[in-house]
Chains A and B, each alone.
Chain A
Amino acid sequence: MASPESAVNGPTMTAGAASKSLRNAFGGVIAFIILVLIGVLAFSIRLFSVIKYESVIHEFDPYFNYRVTQFLSKNGIYDFWNWFDDRTWYPLGRVIGGTVYPGLTLTAGTIWKVVNSLNIPLSVETVCVFTAPIFSAFASWAAYLLTKEVKGPGAGLTAAALLAMVPSYISRSVAGSYDNEAVAIFALVFTFYLYIKTLNTGSLFYATLNALAYFYMVCSWGGYTFIINLIPMHVLLCIVTGRYSSRLYIAYAPLVVLGTLLASLVPVVGFNAVLTSEHFASFLVFIIIHVVALAYYIKGILSPKMFKVAVTLVVSAGLAVCCAVIAILIAVVASSPTKGWSGRSLTLLDPTYASKYIPIIASVSEHQPPTWPSYFMDINVLAFLVPAGIIACFMPLTDSSSFVILYIVTSVYFSGVMVRLMLVLAPAACILSGIALSEAFNVLTRSIKFQLPGIAGNPSIAVRMWCIMSTSKENGSSTVVAPNDIPKTEEAAKEKPAKKNRKKEKENVEKKPTPSKTEKRLLVLPLEASVIAVLLLVLLGAFYVVHCVWAAAEAYSAPSIVLTSHSNDGGLHVFDDFREAYSWLSHNTDVDDKVASWWDYGYQTTAMANRTVLVDNNTWNNTHIATVGTAMSSPEKQAWEIFHSLDVKYVLVVFGGVVGYPSDDINKFLWMVRIGGGVFPHIKEPDYLRDGQYRIDAQATPTMLNCLMYKLSYFRFVETDGKGFDRVRRTEIGKKHFKLTHFEEVFTTHHWMVRIYKLKPQRNRIRGKTKKSKSSRSVSSKRDVRGKRNPWH
């Protein structure tokens, strides 16, 4: 990436400085090699999961993506668009082609196809596992390009190296973590890079590329709304601060037009690209930029006096039109219940929204606000370098550096709302830290270089270098903003702005005579201080590297379907219960059997066991999930009725009480009660709590001890150790000996982590018996409870 550029720059160098151009070419080659190494680093640091565990798809959502990719590679793109999946959300089904962000799937499918057309027999799974590491290498290269546009190649390389191993990004892109974010971060950074590139060059070519990159981002992730809001914000900022230029127009207007057209081609977005409030900001700014452009144009052709008249005319007319348009907009927006915003977007604007209204969003741990330690865990020392980076961006405030500042500020806010959006913060933090580190090294190494006796023998270089710094400090923005105003010669268009800065500054240096040398010397940092500072910075970087490697190796590599524990003698014990259960389901049940479980396990069940599930991790239908939650929190008979009415044959529960696996269904149970109770009010959360405490021991409420989830989890549990001691809750269970009347155990895994029950068939009707049981129940309660209890009757 860098070598062609050095070659491009080569001819622009003055003929006399042959050695200089050689050094530049050399620098380009080094930069290229460093970039390749950064790519290798980004790829290989994510392989810990494969080495420590195995090459397998991780967690929940990646299994769905994997399944979709399998379908795509088997059936082709047209079947994929038309795919109606009847394996999930039984009996509703799901239109996969129209509800999925296809970017990741198409990317991996394309890679698979290309590789196989070269007769390299990689399986779809292998391709999926390694897609994320490959794209994180791409993402760090994109970060290099972006930072290079902002602050030059040095900062670019630093930022790329930081991004290659930032733990926050690693957590979503280890090998096997086949999720949208893996490719979306690359797309995000690359889109920003192309935007900055267009802004710096004013080239329509880059503007078109930018729209295409934005299209790829829209394909990949719902987070594209971040781009389509951030860029207008930046454009607005530029206009307000009087930085409007034709380059800004070229960078923005084609992006909105082409980008929106392309975005609406993606089935899952479709008309949302023009209908939802997430996109309104871009259109508003689109109008504003045209008004501004018109104003500048008119200003250019009219005399100042005429211009004033025109302004008053236009402003009065414009205000009237604006008011009308705004009134219509408000009316349209207000007519929709969520004000045109999706639930997740509203959560971003009002962090308390989800916990108040949408328990299903709040129940997902990655939608919780992060804690302070998680900032330290995920971006580590970058958190301290970012402020320095912001300052460095201000020192010459350019269009591009103001964009980076805006990016970091907004992403810090978003990351504060949802843990998951820490991922958006990570690239911004890396870019700014890269700038900060590179600037700091610049200053410090120059100080050292200037004072070292060996190099002082060639004072002209040192002095010149120093003068570059001093000029940039002395006449601040006037020099640096200048490149924006240079008339665009062909030569200048080819050059990078950073280069331009330096060149301009060099001219300044030549203009300035040397007498101020002694005065400048005083501003040099002391040699010892700079050496120590360099060492400290290196140490800081080393800490960062150590932390990142640790995080990649220990914290973020577990695939979560395989668990391991170290026994006392140092041996490794593997808990492979999930796959044991899914494998059993897939081989020993009928292919059309329906399996009910909490929605967490939906994707895995469809992908690994190939069985139809009621609900899955897509969580688009709250009522359906609430039905399953209600069944789980109901007594056995009612639960049986609900499940039976949904054709369920098997019920799967995850139980960690034997081996102490904490994220099991009993610990998630309160969410089932809450979500179920949100739709079916006869399920009340207080019924399951004793004095506001959630417990399963002898103090637990009878409702709790009789609900299906309790019974399925603890059925015959007492026979394992005689006491029924639950290792997760660290207590003996409340109800130890009981029988199941409507369910029977058909499979329990080796460590009891997954238990599968079968619904017993309906019992034969014996006339006397049914009458008796009916009469025993009170008629009134039966009428009003039954009606609500089972929505499918």
Chain B
Amino acid sequence: MEASLRAQRTAALLIFAFLSLLAVSSSAAQEIQILNAERRIDLSSQIAIVFLTLKVENTGKAAASEVLLSFPPTEADHLAEVKAQAASGKKRKKTHVPLDVKPTDVPDAPKGAKCFRIALLNPLSPGETSTIEVLYMLTHSMEPFPAEISQSEPQLVYYRDSAYILSPYRIKQQTTFIKTPSTNVLSFSRVEPTNRAGMELKYGPYEDRPAYSFSPVLVHFENNNPFAVVEELVREVEISHWGNLQITEHYTLAHGGAKLKGVFSRVDYQSRPGASGVSSFKNLLARLPARVHSVYYRDEIGNISSSRLRTDSRKSELEIEPRYPLFGGWKSTFVIGYGLPLEDFLFESTDGKRYLNFTFGCPLSGTVVDKLTVKVVLPEGSKDPSAVVPFPVEQHMETKYSYLDVVGRPVLVLEKKNVVPEHNTLFQVYYSFNPVFMLAEPLMLVSTVFFLFAACVAYLHIDVSIRKR
């Protein structure tokens, strides 16, 4: 039902695209054409990873300083990350230079399409060509069908895309490769020429497609990889200038795949591990920084005993099992906390400010985070916090009161939706801090004890009786 509806919608979009193409073909931005485009879509995990190699030519008269990318509305919502780099040189000596990608609005784009602007390093002079490599990731782009499966069935998913690359430019030649996790592909749309060999589907090559060409394709295949979705993750990074960095991560984990229909039988699950519950998962791996200490793994009703920590000098790996194996639609919540030595992450910048250098994303490998909140709790008394994050995030400030705080600690809150492992990059939080504030709490305690004793001494020396003895 929904599938056909969607097909209708995309068909409508297609017609619209052609109409709009006629209208805009004369505009100045169109003076670029793509000579060759190759798209490789990797569907072997729950994240669709797409490598796009574009060979761009400037056909106009003026130099072009930017290249536009566009995504259909179905993908636009699921787009987690877009990266671009310029490739130059031959195969062996290829050099890659990352390019700046920014979302933009193109007035003549089809309705709902989302466009990105890739700023080129050197403007492309007329007649010149350049190769751009684009990497983008789509989350929740595989739809389980059937939406409910029993324990013994494998998980089948739909993947929807277009046979032609949606582009604001004319594409001379294009090919799309789709890699599936297994050879079990139930069906796929054909837009000739279409080939299937083993785990790979090949659409194309298609010659000379106009701008905003669109031809919906649907692939139905088996994907038993764990669809581990962290619906919400709150990471709290607390800086203590006494030498510790305390991380607390609150997870709301769900299995985003096909829902479990009917019964869960432990007998089947335990006696036939290969055949029963293949799409379920029972453990996850968290990659933590090296020198991690006092790790805990618990939920609101206590410690969860099924975890293992492996540490070496370069990294730590925490293997965790939720309390129960997660089947489609099941949820679980838990907290991971650990401490880290501060000197590995806190540095002093040249202007006297301090900065924290820490990873942004979710340490659980292979998971998608729908909503990530990173809270950096700065020490009491620190001022002017500012964050440097390599991708757009929402920011605001909070105040947190912790151990014996008087004025509270400033908390810098960074929020981002749709986070994939690619976002596990470093970010920096700069702030200024006067070390005198470190002494505030010890002095407070000492003076309290002092006054307590002073009061005792005073009490013992004062005679409060009304009558003299």
Contacts and interface: CB of A to CB of B under 8 A. Distances in A.
A536 interface: no
A579 B403 contact: no
A749 B305 contact: no
A587 B401 contact: no
B301 A752 contact: no
Interface in B363-405: 401-405
Contacts of A584: 323-324, 330
Interface in A745-783: 745-750, 752
B371 to A, nearest CB: 18
A746 B261 CA distance: 10
A574 B302 contact: no
B305 A574 contact: yes
B294 to A, nearest CB: 14
Interface string B231-271: 00000000000000000000000000000001111110011
Contacts of B324: 580, 583-584, 747, 749-750
Interface in B328-349: 329-333
B469 A748 contact: no
A720 B267 contact: yes
Contacts of A54: 302-303
Contacts of B266: 745, 747-750, 752
A499 B304 CA distance: 57
Interface residues of B, number: 31
A560 B252 CA distance: 27
Contact of B402 (A119, A576, A582): A119
B330 A56 contact: no
Chain A interface category by residue count: 20 to 34
Contacts of B403: 119-121
Contacts of A747: 264, 266, 324
Contacts of A752: 266
Contacts of B270: 720
B460 interface: yes
A492 to B, nearest CB: 13
Interface string B440-460: 000000000000000000011
Contacts of B267: 716, 719-720, 748
Contacts of A576: 304-306, 323
Contacts of A580: 323-324
Contacts of B81: none
Nearest to B253: A587
A608 B301 CA distance: 6
Contacts of B333: 587
A568 interface: no
A437 to B, nearest CB: 32
Main secondary structure of the interface of B (DSSP, over half): loop
Contact of A119 (B264, B303, B306, B404): B404
Contacts of A371: none
A119 B330 contact: no
Interface in A688-744: 716, 719-720, 744
Interface string A3-18: 0100100010000000
B95 to A, nearest CB: 50
Nearest to A717: B267
B435 to A, nearest CB: 21
B330 A583 contact: no
A746 B266 CA distance: 9
A749 B270 CA distance: 11
Contacts of A588: 329-331
Nearest to B332: A587
Contacts of B401: 119, 121
Contacts of B331: 587-588
A584 B266 CA distance: 14
A752 B305 CA distance: 17
A120 B401 CA distance: 8
Contacts of A4: 459-460
B405 A583 contact: no
A765 B402 CA distance: 62
Contact of A719 (B262, B271, B459): B271
Contacts of A587: 330-333
A572 B331 CA distance: 28
Closest 6 interchain pairs by CB? A748-B266, A56-B302, A54-B303, A574-B305, A587-B331, A580-B323
13 contacts: A4-B460, A119-B402, A119-B406, A561-B302, A576-B304, A576-B305, A576-B306, A576-B323, A582-B301, A716-B265, A720-B267, A745-B264, A748-B267
Given A720-B270, A747-B264, 13 more contacts: A56-B301, A56-B303, A119-B401, A562-B305, A574-B305, A574-B306, A580-B324, A583-B301, A588-B330, A716-B267, A745-B266, A748-B266, A750-B266
